[in-house]
Structure 1
Amino acid sequence: MSTADPTLQRISTGVPGLDQILDGGLFGGAVYIVRGSPGAGKTILANQVCFHHVGHGGRALFVTLLAESHARMLQHMAGMSFYNAEAIPGSLYYVSAFRTLEDEGLKGLMDLLRREIRSHRASLLVLDGLLAVEETSASDREFRKFIHELQAHAALADCTVLLLTNGSRSEYHPEHTMVDGLITLDDVAYGKRRQRELEIKKFRGSASLRGRHPFRIGTAGIVLFPRVEAFLPSATARAPAARVSTGVPDLDAMMAGGPLRATSTLLLGASGAGKTTLGTSFLSCCSAEEPGLHFGFFETPERLVANAAAIGVELQQSIDAGHLHIVWRPPTEQILDDLGNALLDAVRRHGVKRLFIDSLGGFISAADARDRLPAFFAALTDELRVLGVTTLLAVETPNLVSPEVHMPIAGVSALAENMVLLRFAEYGARLYRLISVLKVRGGGFDPRLREFEISAAGVKLQAGFKGAEDMLFGYGRPAPEAPQDDRSATARHDVLPPERG
């Protein structure tokens, strides 16, 4: 919810995600510093804002204090979708003030800015090279005076100003206390990969989304991805009433009819245990009333459909009918908040009610910090509940056969109402797939440990194991025979193998 004064005019930046972070955009007549190291994206950001501004009826002035020619800078911008050569020099005008600053100092630069703003009727000014102004100033007092005069003229002309700078010669920045906002751009290292991030460190007149927000630079220019846990509101979903089929009738019976609508279910299991099979069975129940989405990382849409068909699960017809949608994001140097925003965008766009995420590992590998993940998933699953989405989330456990179940991150199990465990176990020189329900919020469940098989006919659950114990440890063994009384002491009963059918 905006906290800004409604009488203050907003200026849209046109940078995807930035207006959301700024709670609506920049303010008209305000002065902002955009600070960052070389290559962080300051010049691209400023040009993107300028082209958007003039494209919506405004007029912009881009003043450089650098030795780089405008022709070279615009060559770098020409390949980006926001670039429009027809806007230059009519509504977007580029001026080099490098020589003026060198020859006439700060007074000459200020006179030039006033003259150019007035002659071009600019409502947006970019001054690229504030560091050069600082270095030319004889003292901090003279530098502050320049900023103050520029603020006064910007307010009088109702011209929003962006001051681009690489930084300062010291850690003391007197100009930061004077301007209306401070935006920083960084290129941060996470192990061997790097991620560009933007942070609003100061923003007068309005709330803004705190903290660092990742962004990408591509052919569309800068695209920002607001942190999911920062922008999603805390909301309470209505208590679910109906149950939703998993697509496997025997599993529905174990869960007292299936998971409740608008809840999340974790499918825990090692690689090959059957998580994707159960997820695609769940999506096979999609319809016009219950559109579905597969959000995956490890199988292309073609492979997913083909593998599902091999076990009797038909997905292509639902895709052709528009009832099922597939979003595939290969697990290579993704941005966590890009994934979260893309998932929610697809859910809202298609009105999704059935969602299978395959798997948590794709989000984990994209995380810039592991300690973010519990809050990230808490915000994401809460929003999905509010949207009425029933979610199955595959979670790969690292151990194939073991008496312990290792979660990839702490705290995830608390975010889901239901948990289903898939395991392998050896018994009688054979490997079995086992399934058990660990938790079903809002009702009872069948606690039996059951074998299940995957074949061309789909998923079929067998009866529970009789006469065996320690199956969950991965290495089952026959249970000891019960003590016999005198009447049956002579009767010998063999331990039964696992029940089938």
Structure 2
Amino acid sequence: MNGRITSGSGPLDVVLGGGLPRDAIVLVMGAPGAGKTIFAQQWIFANATPERSALYLTTVSEPLEKVLRYGQTLSFFDPAAVGRSVWYEDLGRILRDHGLPGVLERVRELIRVRKPAMIVIDSFKAMHPYASRSGAFRPFLHDLAGMLSAFPATSLWVGEYQDDEIQRSPEFAVADAIIALKSVHSAERTSRALQVHKLRGGGYLAGTHSYRLSEDGITVYPRLADPADAGDTGDHDVQSVRIRSGIRALDDMLEDGLCAGSSTLVAGPTGTGKTLMGLHFVFQAVGQGDGAIIATMQEDPSQLERTASQFGWSVKDGNLTVMYRSPVDLNVDQWVYELLDTIETTGASRVLLDSLADLQAAAPDQIRFREYLYSLLHRSSRQGTSLMMTYELPELFGVSKISDVAASHMADNVVLLQYAGITGRMSRALTVLKTRAANHRSGVREFQITTEGIGLVPAQSLSDFVPGQGTPHV
């Protein structure tokens, strides 16, 4: 291999370990509508120049006119480049009239005249039925691959192949790289996933990577799975600097405060004050002139503003960024990258993630959810960004465990909010279950929500806490 050539997408180049292999044969497979043609056109318009032109050959899958008409709706399509650095030709008639030998001869002639640096054949699989006899496709494939290998050009073969054809179709053995585009169904959700099955001469990111299609082409979100640092014991490398949480009730139970860059999980049933506790947390930073982010799937900005105004805050503060996304049709990969980018661009010192349950429900599976969470917590810790996450528990009473929540193991601090019955009345109770690298007061404490925020009830511990509602196991 002679280096790499960009795929036209920076994140996809990351997945490919630097881009597509130059002067190689790349096979792009996927069902109709997966984005193969968009992939191919994005690639040629990102690279083609008059000196290093691109040749786009259609066969009998889609008419050339349709490919061009749809291509013009894409933002990267440059009409001025057509006929100057990007050349289109329909091989359909030659294929119908003269079969595979005619195609081979025409491709040889086009290479001699155009001298392209890039060649696309769309669709390659559609040429299979035009083999004149059984076994005739292999000699054609051998001659075509030999011709392309002798000429310095990168070739992209596009086809509507299924996974089981990788073992059966001879072109997969010839290809230097194989990229699959597919749809993934999880419950009621459908998402798109890209996977590299093969890439000679270089490394690539294994596994599936989410992607989306738009007028800007294919946007890939590389699988977010940060490896542990060398010598990592599993604990986050939180800073030694202590910060106030901004929550009076919690600060009263923390002897040393929270570590800067640490992660805190606030879990509890509905109505216990989880979002309010998160607002205290971020507005503590805003009040100090620091940047903060509310990444919410629970309440839109108008709802947050209504709640915040009751305590003298405003989500319209210039130091606060509200990143609201509906949990309906949420692409978790896209969301995580948007959050990380927002943290970097704003320099936020604190982030409220409200709520973790919505993020968990949108994840394609539990393994991926844990990868997202680990990577998010790990990167936030490295940047010194303190993170608070809310998680809604299903039980209104008798909360006994939160161990099935991945964040309870990964988070540096775990705070439980719950309801308690005290001498015939309902009350809210707070328990600090865990503080990594810091001390805290144990026990279950009653708290109240007033116009001044969340505060502990003086001289009141829940000694008469209703049985069955004790401190759960983490």
TM-score by length of 1: 0.86
2:184 to 178, 188, 194: 188
1:54 to 48, 54, 57: 48
Deviations 1:49-91 (A, max 9, x none): 1222237974211101125322222222332222222222221
SS at 1:66 equivalent: coil
The AA in structure 2 aligned to 1:465 is Q
Structure 1 position 461 matched with structure 2 position 456: yes
Instruction: Please tell me whether Structure 1 or Structure 2 has the larger radius of gyration of its CA atoms.
Output: 1
- Paired residues in the alignment total 463
Deviations 1:162-186 (A, max 9, x none): 1011127965122212210111111
CA contact (8 A) 2:331 2:362 kept: yes
How far apart are 1:447 and its partner, in Å? 1.0
How far apart are 1:391 and its partner, in Å? 0.8
* Residues 374, 139 of structure 1: alpha-carbon distance in 2 compared, 3 angstrom cutoff: farther
Which residue in 2 is equivalent to 1:311?
Answer: 311
Following TM superposition, the consecutive aligned residue runs of length 4 or more in structure 1 with deviations greater than 6 angstroms are none
How far apart in 2 are the matches of 1:43 and 1:325? 37
Which residue in 2 is equivalent to 1:221?
Answer: 217
1:122 to 108, 116, 130: 116
How far apart in 1 are the matches of 2:239 and 2:189? 42
How far apart are 1:403 and its partner, in Å? 4.2
Which residue in 2 is equivalent to 1:498?
Answer: none
- Aligned pairs for 1:89-104 (under 5 A) are 89-104=83-98
The AA in structure 2 aligned to 1:63 is L
Which residue in 2 is equivalent to 1:364?
Answer: 360
- Aligned pairs for 1:76-225 (under 5 A) are 76-138=70-132, 142-167=136-161, 172-225=168-221
How far apart in 2 are the matches of 1:104 and 1:184? 31
Which residue in 2 is equivalent to 1:68?
Answer: 62
CA contact (8 A) 2:30 2:180 kept: yes
Which residue in 2 is equivalent to 1:495?
Answer: none
Which residue in 2 is equivalent to 1:263?
Answer: 262
SS at 1:326 equivalent: strand
* Residues 55, 392 of structure 1: alpha-carbon distance in 2 compared, 3 angstrom cutoff: farther
SS at 1:412 equivalent: helix
CA contact (8 A) 2:54 2:119 kept: yes
The AA in structure 1 aligned to 2:358 is G
Deviations 1:213-243 (A, max 9, x none): 12112222221111112xx343356452111
> Aligned-residue CA RMSD in angstroms?
2.5
The AA in structure 1 aligned to 2:417 is L
Deviations 1:473-497 (A, max 9, x none): 4599xxxxxxxxxxxxxxxxxxxxx
* Residues 36, 220 of structure 1: alpha-carbon distance in 2 compared, 3 angstrom cutoff: same
How far apart are 1:314 and its partner, in Å? 4.2
* Residues 455, 369 of structure 1: alpha-carbon distance in 2 compared, 3 angstrom cutoff: same
* Residues 67, 204 of structure 1: alpha-carbon distance in 2 compared, 3 angstrom cutoff: closer
How far apart are 1:119 and its partner, in Å? 2.1
Which residue in 2 is equivalent to 1:29?
Answer: 23
145-154 vs 212-221, which deviates more? Answer: 145-154
Structure 1 position 432 matched with structure 2 position 427: yes
421-430 vs 259-268, which deviates more? Answer: 421-430
How far apart in 2 are the matches of 1:452 and 1:57? 72
CA contact (8 A) 1:286 1:324 kept: no
SS at 1:164 equivalent: strand
TM-score by length of 2: 0.91
Which ranges in structure 2 are unaligned for 5 or more consecutive residues? none
SS at 2:443 equivalent: coil
How far apart in 2 are the matches of 1:56 and 1:345? 36
The AA in structure 2 aligned to 1:451 is E
Give the percent of matched residue pairs that are identical in Structure 1 and Structure 2.
Answer: 29
Which residue in 1 is equivalent to 2:321?
Answer: 325
81-90 vs 325-334, which deviates more? Answer: 81-90
How far apart are 1:315 and its partner, in Å? 4.0
The AA in structure 2 aligned to 1:296 is T
Which ranges in structure 1 are unaligned for 5 or more consecutive residues? 477-501
How far apart are 1:145 and its partner, in Å? 3.4
